[in-house]
Homo-oligomer: A and B are copies of this chain.
Amino acid sequence: MHAEDSKKTLYVVGIGPGGRDQMTIRADRVLRECSVIVGYPVYLNLVREDYPKARFLSTPMRQERERCLMALKAAAQGERTAVICSGDSGIYGMAGLTLELAGEFPEVEVSVIPGVTAAVGGAAVLGAPIGHDFAVISLSDLLTPRETIEKRLRAAGEGDFIVCLYNPASRNRSGYLEWACRILMEYKDSGTVCGLIRQIGRQGEEAQILSLSELRHAQADMFTTVIIGNKSTREERGRMVTPRGYTNG
């Protein structure tokens, strides 16, 4: 399934949560060899200077389908092409859509290059909050019915999972984080240790540790990742830590 030497390969590359140094050595090597790099404009700007030989193509936000087709066409024309995604390429990323659309381009092989997703990058900034079983849930109801999101929040609460929330808010959606916190407070103590990270690994990075009841009223935007602890999560000298149990054993 690895075809980094094939002529007509489209790479779907996760560039990690921040700038170039948060991507893997493999992702960097792949991008260096590409003549076309496709992505959402904000992410292209993060890497543009690092790959001066590539042509950069983009489509506006939400036009993910057009972006994938643009990349598949470039690859089919023999360009060494990559689609880049913030964080990982598969987690709410472009890998799935690219693989779905690739059926129309049988000559193109799709190679998925993983990256550090926001929950993992954000966790490292906070300390070690996801040291045990966790659930990742997107609060975006653009493609998922709100009842499905609520069902998953309740299931994650029921199972005492650590919960990582993606897309806690956007320009057109406010109040979703408060809604999610209220649901989780039916299962988790209001004092549960939580963390909030903005602009992971980028200029303006901010991290905050707070209780679940405080999180309910916190400000979030589309560059925010939220981590809600399980019942063992605690604050240790300013870091958020969920133990696996070693120190108890």
Residues of A within 8 A of B (CB): 1, 14, 16, 20-26, 28-29, 64-65, 88-93, 95-103, 110, 112-117, 120-121, 123-125, 127-138, 143-144, 148, 151-152, 154-156, 158-161, 207, 236-237, 239, 241-247, 249
Nearest Cβ in chain B — how far from A143, in angstroms? 4
Q: State whether A135 touches B116 (Cβ < 8 A).
A: no
Known A101-B247, A144-B245; contact A21-B16, beta-carbon cutoff 8 A: no
Q: State whether A99 touches B236 (Cβ < 8 A).
A: yes
Closest Cβ neighbor of A26 among chain B residues: B21
A116 CB contacts on chain B under 8 angstroms: 24, 88, 114-116, 120
Closest Cβ neighbor of A123 among chain B residues: B90
Q: How far is the CA of A114 from the CA of B22 in the complex (A)?
A: 9
Q: State whether B247 touches A120 (Cβ < 8 A).
A: no
Q: State whether A239 touches B155 (Cβ < 8 A).
A: no
Closest Cβ neighbor of A236 among chain B residues: B99
Task: Supply 12 further A-B pairs (C-beta < 8 A) apart from A100-B241, A113-B124.
Answer: A90-B128, A90-B131, A91-B131, A96-B241, A96-B244, A97-B243, A102-B237, A114-B124, A135-B156, A143-B246, A144-B244, A151-B160
Partner of A247, one of B14, B65, B151, B154: B65
Nearest Cβ in chain B — how far from A107, in angstroms? 13
A28 CB contacts on chain B under 8 angstroms: 25
Q: State whether B114 touches A123 (Cβ < 8 A).
A: yes
A144 CB contacts on chain B under 8 angstroms: 132-133, 244-245
A64 CB contacts on chain B under 8 angstroms: 246
Nearest Cβ in chain B — how far from A152, in angstroms? 4
Q: State whether A158 touches B160 (Cβ < 8 A).
A: no
A95 CB contacts on chain B under 8 angstroms: 124, 127-128, 131
